[in-house]
Structure 1
Amino acid sequence: MPPPHTHHEHGHHHQSGDGGQAEILDLDAEVLAEHIAAITRWLPVRSDPRRIVDLAAGTGAGTFALLDRFPEAHVIAVDASPEHLRRLREKACARGVDGQVRVVSADLDDTTWPDLGTPDLVWASASLHHLADPDHALRAVRDLLAPDGLVAVVELAGLPRFLPEHAPAERPGLEDRLHAAADRLHTEHVPHRGADWGALLTAAGFTVADELAVAVDIEGARDPAIGRYALGVLRRLRGAVAEELAADDLAALDRLLDTGSPHGLLRRDDLALRTERTVWAAGLRP
């Protein structure tokens, strides 16, 4: 699916699964663990769900956050990537919850989905905007959700940012230009990014119960994983937008991505993770 993987945006186009993307998903879960936990605590559930489906589960950030929040639940983790599902299974075993997690290989763009039971909660984090027909996916969720169940759609405002505005010194504003190039490609290839998911949920037969905006701003000094996360994200961003960049910008980006350079991302002390997420929680229309 073109362009070549700017779509991880916090790593979540789960329909293709190379190791590099899986590493970003693991870092995403590590760096944003507190924020994901806060979202699970916010969910307006009527009672603790016992049956959960995690759509495009990746390597399990949502699956395990939901099990931490609802420890009696069983989760069906759905993804199209064998690598992601393998990692998720390994994590479930390591955590001792493999009896509560079932992995299902499926492409959410397929006309028919495998049997996912009748879940009390369906979780779809940063995944629906990648689908060719998210309306079809939402109708499929409507048809399988329990009568008192809840669907939670978590979506991103855009790619995460890491550098100060003045960085790097030789090409200030480089990250803005990278994002502008990625946005141009996304407009063509990922048209549902930034959609009004509240309206789409309503059109699919749901009633939106609540909406939550989550702003993330974590200083790199607080978490050394942010440097590794920035490296992974910007490497993949380079792979997608290199042809769109001026030669000087590409050279500056490559200096940042050089792990042996004193000017590389891993040596900087001014990184921060800045991003925004919005969560829509909806139930079946009465």
Structure 2
Amino acid sequence: MTPTAPHTTHHHHAQHDHAQGHGHGHGHDAEDEMAQLLDLDAEVLAEHIASIIEWLPVEAAPRRIVDLGCGTGTGTFALLRRFPEAEVTAVDTSSRYLRRLRDRAASEGVAGRVHPVEADLDGTWPDLGKPELVWASASLHHMADPDRILRQVHDALAPGGLLAVVELSGFPRFLPEDAPQDRPGLEERCHAALDDHHAEQMPHRGADWGPLLAAAGFTVEGERTITVNLGPPHSEAVGRYALNSLRRIRDGVAHSLQAEDLAALDRLLDADAPHGILRRDDLTVRTERTVWAARRT
């Protein structure tokens, strides 16, 4: 991965059709599939996530951290590794994700440092104490009124505390541009259809959070975009990450793809097919994440 220089104008889109715990599927199967995707995201991009946390301009190692929209704990566990004296309050709407997070915390011996809170942040704001650091990764664009959420985070933070807003550039790309052989450019057409689908549902998707943070009373101290380009060769986890991501995309675009594209996508998603995504040796992981660091002064 190659960090790019900080810059000030962004029109990014949020990744994964979820907000580290905000899936659009329905039922337990969809939630379990999303949990697997979140865990694969954490595994494949662990170094990338750690580099974002390392970059944060913390003035002193925080002892109290809040992870808003924690999902299965990607940010939670990365923050615990970076700040070994800290405790993390992990907030999500999904009891299943929080149970998964709680089980992992126990297996890693850090259960005493993780405090799961089930809450819908668009509803009644939970008591989160006075954290020195709040981490919001791919979650704010899902909120009905993110301006209100930012003001509440500002008021909840300890004086001098930091808010890290991380947004993602959409689902990662995995295939070469000329793939698959029978329908070149298929992945880009899927992404275009998904962007059209999401533009109607999430108006804050792709927002430049800098002005919104300033309007909520924060001082924006830094902004950085990190570009990821991994492989080939790739790990077995990348194959599963690609398969699960493209399955998720299919759920959102099946109604708008041409029949030939949908058939080609289904062939890629056949885990047993000789030319399926799991059998390809030319996969890469290409994505971007932008982080804003904003202080309560």
> Same fold judged by TM-score > 0.5?
yes
Gaps spanning 5+ residues in structure 2: where? 1-12, 24-29
Relative distance call for 1:220 and 1:83 in structure 2 (3 A) is: farther
What does the per-residue CA deviation read over 1:99-119, in whole Å, with 9 as the maximum and x for residues that have no partner?
A: 000000011211x21100000
The aligned residue for residue 54 of structure 1 is 67
Matched, 1:105 2:118: yes
Residue identity matched to 2:96: E
Answer 1 or 2: higher relative contact order, Cα 8 Å, separation at least 6: 2
How far apart, CA to CA, are the structure 2 residues paired with 1:124 and 1:70? 17
The aligned residue for residue 131 of structure 1 is 143
The aligned residue for residue 9 of structure 2 is none
How far apart, CA to CA, are the structure 1 residues paired with 2:216 and 2:257? 40
Cα distance, 1:185 vs structure 2: 0.8
Residue identity matched to 1:23: Q
Cα distance, 1:210 vs structure 2: 0.6
The aligned residue for residue 251 of structure 1 is 263
1:34-73 correspondence to structure 2 within 5 Å: 34-73=47-86
Moved more, 16-25 or 165-174: 16-25
How far apart, CA to CA, are the structure 1 residues paired with 2:21 and 2:213? 21
Matched, 1:268 2:275: no
Residue identity matched to 1:198: G
Q: Secondary structure at the match of 1:274?
A: strand
The aligned residue for residue 183 of structure 1 is 195
How far apart, CA to CA, are the structure 2 residues paired with 1:25 and 1:201? 26
Cα distance, 1:14 vs structure 2: 2.0
Contact 2:70 2:90 in 1 (8 A): yes
Cα distance, 1:15 vs structure 2: 3.6
1:161-172 correspondence to structure 2 within 5 Å: 161-172=173-184
The aligned residue for residue 3 of structure 1 is none
Moved more, 7-16 or 51-60: 7-16
Contact 2:141 2:202 in 1 (8 A): yes
Residue identity matched to 2:81: D
Matched-pair identity in %: 63
Cα distance, 1:10 vs structure 2: 7.4
Contact 1:12 1:58 in 2 (8 A): yes
Residue identity matched to 2:113: Q
The aligned residue for residue 283 of structure 1 is 295
Matched, 1:9 2:16: yes
The aligned residue for residue 185 of structure 2 is 173
Residue identity matched to 1:65: A
Moved more, 133-142 or 216-225: 216-225
Gaps spanning 5+ residues in structure 1: where? 1-5
How far apart, CA to CA, are the structure 2 residues paired with 1:191 and 1:141? 21
Residue identity matched to 1:204: A
Cα distance, 1:11 vs structure 2: 4.5
Matched, 1:156 2:168: yes
**Residue from 228, 231, 236 that aligns with 2:243:** 231
Residue identity matched to 2:177: E
Cα distance, 1:223 vs structure 2: 2.0
Aligned length: 279
**Residue from 254, 257, 264 that aligns with 1:242:** 254
